[in-house]
């Protein structure tokens, strides 16, 4: 039997294992998928837990057993991946070694509270946490739920992070939450970010910054956080500026898996050096990279892993037939941005195209509105949880047919008519 080993059974790994198990001759191929966790988390749900909004109250609302969405035909191994010997094509784990013909790296990235001085102490003191993991999201639920007045500060330490719109959604949802509790006038919401503005993409930043201002949310840009003081309840920057808080929601540095760096496949920050179009690892043969553990310059998002999966699977199948991989990934990403009050924005972009106004998935028709707030967008985001578990992970959510036409043009100039209503 020839072997495909998939490292990580999160969004990207699960999707690729489902697609490959249907497309490969399983009498000839064995698919082995390795993960250290026994749980698969629906991470977009972490955003709602601190506010108990839209039916998200407890941990079990965002998780399933890790094996649940995996194909029966694949073999799951519960183990920590310790080394990738790409010269010998062997993965070393806490449960033994696994040889491979092809390797897919899908180990994600993680928000590390220990990377920010004083944050773990502030978490222990019950005045801060991160909503980038389930435990932190539940702690914030208590801390924010107890607030009657004061300052709720959201701090983004540095890029890259998973889901770059999540900080904006967090402050929008906080605004909605305190409105509903009728104490919005007593709670100041402050977004303290290392970025020059609320968001990385200029056009979307302009639209979103206007809404942030309308909602009375204060933004402190260019704040490079040095440390957190849990006793004084204060953030300090490298320039000596300080921001006081009553509750701190932190997005600490998001790091790639150390094993990528240690195995000589990383970019210096533990993200795998990846060809942005074919998604091959640049530092090892017969290795593909999908999702957050890659260093390609698009968002770290489940939608990106979804679009990347098509290219990764296609290219593995081509290599098996002796053909060259095709450079077909265009950086496509899309994301709903919850804005509270049962409304949301939707943005859609790729390596070359900024988020534009228009409709999605059918230009001029919709039903979703791009770069605009709508109730339908909100229901799209709510429905996405079901879509994630039932269609996306199982490999039944189509890729290309759902793309708006301007994205399917793959690198060609976008006609003005498609870029607007």
Ligand X SMILES: Cc1cc2nc3c(=O)[nH]c(=O)nc-3n(C[C@H](O)[C@H](O)[C@H](O)COP(=O)(O)OP(=O)(O)OC[C@H]3O[C@@H](n4cnc5c(N)ncnc54)[C@H](O)[C@@H]3O)c2cc1C
List interacting residues with ligand X (CB under 6 A): 8-13, 34-37, 43-44, 46-47, 80-81, 106-108, 131-132, 162-163, 166, 257, 259, 291-293, 300-303, 305, 335-336
* Closer by beta carbon to ligand X, 108 or else 404: 108
- In angstroms, give the least distance from the CB of 46 to ligand X: 4
Compare residues 205 and 299 and give the one whose CB is closer to ligand X.
299
Comparing CB distances to ligand X, the nearer of 207 and 392 is 392
Q: How far is the CB of 333 from ligand X (least distance, A)?
A: 8
Q: DSSP strand E in 22-74: where?
A: 29-35, 39-41, 63-65
Residue among 7 and 233 whose Cβ is closer to ligand X? 7
Contact of 343 with 374, CB cutoff 8 Å: yes
Which are the contacts of 350, defined by CB distance < 8 A and separation ≥ 6?
A: 298, 330, 331, 332, 333, 407
Q: Which is nearer to ligand X, 303 or 369 (CB)?
A: 303
Cβ closest to ligand X, residue 11 vs residue 377: 11
Q: How far is the CB of 144 from ligand X (least distance, A)?
A: 15
CA-derived radius of gyration, the chain: 21
Closest approach of ligand X to the CB of residue 63, in Å: 11
Q: Which helix (H) or strand (E) holds 227?
A: strand 225-229
Distances from the Cα of 420 to the Cα of 319, 339, 348, angstroms: 40, 22, 13
* Nearest distance in Å: CB 165, ligand X: 7
Q: Which residues in 28-95 belong to E strands, given as ranges?
A: 29-35, 39-41, 63-65, 75-78, 81-85, 90-93
Phi-psi group of 268: left, alpha or beta (phi > 0 → left; psi -120 to 50 → alpha; rest → beta):
left
Q: Closest approach of Cβ 162 to ligand X, in Å?
A: 4
Number of neighbours of residue 129 by Cβ within 10 angstroms: 27
Do the Cβ atoms of 245 and 189 come closer than 8 Å?
Answer: no
């Amino acid at each position: 039997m020839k072997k495909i080993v998939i490292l990580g059974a999160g969004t990207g790994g699960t999707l690729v294992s489902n697609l490959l198990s249907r497309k490969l001759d399983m009498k000839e191929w064995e698919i082995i998928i390795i993960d250290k966790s026994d749980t698969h988390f629906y991470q977009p749900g972490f955003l709602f837990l601190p506010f108990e909004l839209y039916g998200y109250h407890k941990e079990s609302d965002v998780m399933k057993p890790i094996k649940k969405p995996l194909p029966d035909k694949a073999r799951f191994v519960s183990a920590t991946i310790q080394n990738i010997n790409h010269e010998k094509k062997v993965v070393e784990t806490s449960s033994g070694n696994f040889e491979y013909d092809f390797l897919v790296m899908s180990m994600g990235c993680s928000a590390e509270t220990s990377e920010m001085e004083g944050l773990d102490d502030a978490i222990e003191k019950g005045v801060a946490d991160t909503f980038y993991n389930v435990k932190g999201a539940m702690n914030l639920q208590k801390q924010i739920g107890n607030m009657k007045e004061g300052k709720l500060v959201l701090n983004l330490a540095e890029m890259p992070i998973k889901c770059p719109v999540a900080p904006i959604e967090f402050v929008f949802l906080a605004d909605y939450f305190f409105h509903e509790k009728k104490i919005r006038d007593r709670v100041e919401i402050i977004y303290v970010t290392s970025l020059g503005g609320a968001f990385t993409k200029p056009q979307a930043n302009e639209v979103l910054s206007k809404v942030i201002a309308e909602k009375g949310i204060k933004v402190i840009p260019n704040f490079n956080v040095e440390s957190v003081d849990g006793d004084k309840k204060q953030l300090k920057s490298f320039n000596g500026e300080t921001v006081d808080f009553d509750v701190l929601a932190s997005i600490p540095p998001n790091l790639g898996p150390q094993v990528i760096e240690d195995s000589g496949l990383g970019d210096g920050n533990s993200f795998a050096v990846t060809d942005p179009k074919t998604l091959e690892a640049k530092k090892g043969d017969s290795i593909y990279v999908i999702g957050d553990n890659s260093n390609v310059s698009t968002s770290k998002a489940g939608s990106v892993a979804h679009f990347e999966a098509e290219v990764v699977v296609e290219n593995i199948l081509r290599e098996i037939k002796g053909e060259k991989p095709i450079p077909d990934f265009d950086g496509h990403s899309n994301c709903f941005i919850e804005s509270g009050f049962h409304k949301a924005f939707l943005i859609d972009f790729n390596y070359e195209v900024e988020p534009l106004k228009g409709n999605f998935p059918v230009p001029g028709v919709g039903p979703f509105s791009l770069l605009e707030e709508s109730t339908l967008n909100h229901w799209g985001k709510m429905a996405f949880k079901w879509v994630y578990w039932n269609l996306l992970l199982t490999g039944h959510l189509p890729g290309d047919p759902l793309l708006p036409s301007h994205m399917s043009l793959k690198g060609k100039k976008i006609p003005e008519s498609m870029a607007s209503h």
